[in-house]
Chain A
């Protein structure tokens, strides 16, 4: 469960995230959709304590990220939008570093690593440096590192980018299993089909403001029967309207 209230981030005098209040309930996969530069990554970084909010609060399973950061940080696993980290560590070293950080006991690590490496098909790369991995392999090892401590909340920034169909399928299945077990998953994406098929709820953001949160059915109910999700999305994020607005602002 993630509760976000009045979350705001300004760079200079530009509001990148503007007074957003919404929540990610337990037992649901929440898709976070919006055009480039809408503020998704900034949002997720503030939720995970990587960025300091200019104003507003974020609570993860009841722990405030600024007031009780260590407890709040225990609750989630976060995969950032770029997978190029710790390139000179071997995959297995990276995973164990993450496990050490979260205080995972030795038992269970091996089972986790072997199971997930197998599901993602990178078992024989574990003993090589991440430097030698392809983009998708790096993405997979980052996902594994984020999940190794079995966090109740998953926060994933464009996790499917660069994954082959098989691995994307596996990850989506994992997300489904995780949510079905009563946990929350929040992930950002540009791919509407994924959001449509996978998400229980979606949040749409445009220019730092949340335009909609709710289930897909709720979203559709405001539009005539048979309108495609793409059309709804384009309407909500109002590409044309937006550019006119920024034009007058400038």
Chain B
């Protein structure tokens, strides 16, 4: 026990077990702290008001339970995904792993000590969301919530977080155990399988939404989006009991159930780690690659001359695609995010609460149009922020070079050209991960009449602009403050907190936008809401393209200066 506490403390002090002491770290200062503080202050305030908005609505539409269930589902879903990534890199890709494995610790001790790190972050994050929303909600609905509401809010916050992190840990170990088969050359097979899976789900989705459009199917489609978030509910069974508590039903009994379920999941995690962790971790240690000699044709192909821009892009794509660290934290997420989102679509049907469908047929039609439009914008937001924010690639444009950075300085190529060559590699991946899916989806959905061509076009245009903006901003940030003194790629790949925050905020925006739409119709109508909303959407697209042009120009003008200023 004493030894375990020591291990936990050491691992906490060492962070993720990868950071190399940066000779200039204390000189550089760190504005990511500022970002945390700003996010930590703004996010709760925004969520308080979002809670206030939904509070009074709960009196009209179904009470406390459905709203709180949705909140907990959204949070659980995000926590699950974030901790999954964090745990995979902490437990399997950190550079101190071989050393740790040679020490006399049981796998469960290593896993538990590692998980404490992740758990701490996640508790802070979930509390920043759930608590302000809960308070705002209580205030908005008149402040007359029973004691069970408050106990449930706090217990639910903690229990959901612990359960989500433990589940993420179980998933991480299972994935890495299975992953062994695919670690080297077969990586591409995994991507193929993922894309095939995505196609299958897309097909199911289209099949399902291809029915006649009426108020019912609108409700269903909206339900599908919300139930995208309810996937974890199957796996995190504490949420129904938490919401019952919050509605004031059997508080003590439900609290006990919540505690019992959470403890059970945590115990399962320890059990799985005892059984599988060591084997999975050992898998990570042996990598082999066959040595094959180069044929004449292959040699000729390799020796073909290419432009400098494309040489850089190809090099970066190769370096990134062949690196497991940049896979788990980079391109796999950038490409496979729809699988994660869509897979949960079909786990559960229907909305956890009643969305208004309008009193008349006319109103219902209006709601449908509005929600399709809002949905398109939400999809654009979601696609852009997922493919850029979830992956570390844009934010590590220069940092990724590490000790090889001097190449950029030594070769007779202008800094601007080098930056754009590398940027294009990131843009290629992000483009495939967003517009690359949207275009075929739009073609099918327009052909089946599910969305109008205008909506699809707005969505694609908005996505493209947002992707360019986000990639350029992230790249510029890394150009100004690169971290070149790292020891292992896993450590640099994981330092993506900015991207995560961007992702988080965008997803939240998309959700709010989508869910608030029908309520707006029912509560207050502009003269012609559909036209009004279309104009706003078109305006958004224009603004986004303006922004994209601005970031492009800034990168064009400043990149040489920024890169030149990096002096290692």
Q: Which A positions have Cβ atoms within 8 angstroms of B?
A: 45, 48-52, 69-74, 78, 80, 82, 84-86, 88-89, 92-93, 96-97, 99-106, 109-110, 113, 123-129, 131-132
Would you call B294 an interface residue if the criterion is a C-beta within 8 Å of the partner chain's C-beta atoms?
A: yes
Given A96-B303, A97-B315, check contact A103 B308 (CB 8 Å).
yes
Residues of B within 8 A of A126 (CB): 293-294
* Shortest distance between the CB of B390 and any CB in chain A (Å): 22
Closest to A12 in B: B27
B291 at the interface (CB under 8 A from A): yes
* B window 429-443: CB within 8 A of A: none
Chain A residues near B308 (CB, 8 Å)?
Answer: 100-101, 103
**CA separation between A97 and B291, bound complex, in Å?**
21
Residues of chain A lying within 8 A (CB to CB) of residue B319: 86, 88-89
Contact among A72, A84, A101, A127 with B298 in the assembled complex (CB-CB below 8 Å): A127
Q: Please give, as numbers and ranges, the residues of chain B lying within 8 Å of A82 by CB-CB distance.
A: 403
User: In the complex, A125→B290 CA distance in Å?
Assistant: 10
Q: Which listed residue, B293, B300, B414, touches A127 by the CB 8 Å rule?
A: B293
Known A-B contacts A80-B406, A88-B323, A89-B318; A102 and B411 likewise in contact (beta carbons under 8 Å) = yes
10 extra A-B contacts, CB within 8 A, seeds A92-B294, A99-B303: A48-B406, A93-B315, A96-B303, A99-B305, A100-B305, A100-B311, A101-B308, A104-B305, A106-B303, A128-B292
Question: Can you list 21 pairs linking A and B with CB atoms under 8 Å apart?
Answer: A48-B406, A48-B409, A48-B410, A50-B406, A70-B412, A70-B414, A71-B412, A72-B412, A74-B412, A85-B403, A86-B319, A93-B315, A97-B314, A105-B305, A110-B303, A113-B299, A123-B293, A124-B293, A127-B294, A129-B289, A129-B322
- Counting CB contacts under 8 A, is B359 at the interface? no
Which residue in chain A gives the minimum CB-CB distance to B408?
A: A50
**B302 at interface (Cβ–Cβ under 8 A)?**
yes
Q: Is the CB of A109 within 8 A of B303?
A: yes
Interface pair B412/A73, CB less than 8 Å apart = yes
Distance (whole angstroms) from the CB of B299 to the closest CB of chain A: 6
Most chain A beta-carbon neighbours within 10 Å: one of B302, B303, B409, B567: B303
Assess the B407–A85 pair: CB atoms within 8 A.
yes
Distance between B116 CB and nearest chain A CB, rounded to angstroms: 32
Question: Is the Cβ of B299 less than 8 Å from the Cβ of A89?
Answer: no
1/0 per residue B376-412: CB within 8 Å of A?
A: 0000000000000000000000000001101101111
Instruction: Say yes or no: A88-B409 contact (C-beta < 8 A), given A113-B303, A127-B292.
Output: no
B residues apposed to A, CB below 8 Å: 289, 291-294, 298-300, 302-308, 311, 314-315, 318-319, 322-323, 403-404, 406-407, 409-414, 567-568
A51 and B567 in contact (CB under 8 A), knowing A73-B412, A102-B411, A106-B303?
yes
A48 to B299, CA, bound (A): 31
Inter-chain contacts of A131 with B (CB < 8 A)? 289
- B402, closest chain A residue (CB): A85
CA of A113 to CA of B315, assembled, Å: 19
With A70-B412, A125-B291 known to touch, is A85 a contact of B404 (CB < 8 Å)? Answer: yes
Closest chain A CB from B186 CB (angstroms): 16
Evaluate contact between A93 and B318: CB separation under 8 angstroms: yes
**Contact partners of A86 in chain B: CB under 8 A:** 315, 319, 404
Q: Which residue of A lies closest to B413 (CB)?
A: A101
> Are A73 and B411 in contact, with the CB atoms below 8 A?
yes
Contact in complex: B318, A51 (CB < 8 Å): no
Residue of B whose beta carbon sits closest to that of A9: B567
**Nearest B residue to A100 by beta-carbon distance?**
B311
Interchain CB contact under 8 A, A51 and B311: no
Q: CB-CB < 8 A to A97: which residues of B?
A: 311, 314-315
- A124 to B159 alpha-carbon distance, docked (Å): 57
A101-B408 Cα distance, complex, nearest whole Å:
10
Most buried by B among A74, A93, A100, A124: A100
Assembly CA distance A82 to B568 (angstroms): 15
Min CB distance, A124 to chain B, in Å?
A: 5
How far, in whole Å, are A35 and B404 apart by their CA atoms in the complex?
25
Contact of A51 among B289, B303, B306, B568 (CB under 8 A): B568
A residues less than 8 Å from B304 (CB atoms): 106
User: Contacts A45-B406, A50-B409, A70-B414; is A101 near B291 (CB within 8 Å)?
Assistant: no
Per the bound structure, the CA–CA distance linking A53 and B266 in Å amounts to 57
Q: Which residue of B lies closest to A82 (CB)?
A: B403
Q: Tell me, rounded to whole Å, the shortest Cβ–Cβ distance linking A155 to chain B.
A: 9
> Cβ of B567: which chain A residues have Cβ within 8 Å of it?
51-52
Contact partners of B403 in chain A: CB under 8 A: 82, 84-85
Complex CA–CA separation, A116 to B369 (angstroms):
67
B411 and chain A: residue at smallest CB distance: A101
Find the A residue at minimum CB distance from B310.
A100
Q: Which residue of A84, A102, A124 contacts B412 across the interface (Cβ within 8 Å)? A: A102
Please tell me if the beta carbons of B299 and A92 are within 8 angstroms of each other in the complex: yes
A77 to B: closest C-beta gap in Å = 9
Rounded to whole angstroms, the CA-CA distance of A102 and B303 in the bound complex is: 13
A87 → B minimal CB distance (Å) = 9
A110 to B305, CA, bound (A): 11
Question: Which chain A residue shows the least CB distance to B567?
Answer: A52
Q: Which residue of A lies closest to B23 (CB)?
A: A11
Q: Contacts of B293 on A, CB cut-off 8 Å?
A: 123-124, 126-127
A103 to B319, CA, bound (A): 21
A192 to chain B, nearest CB (A): 28
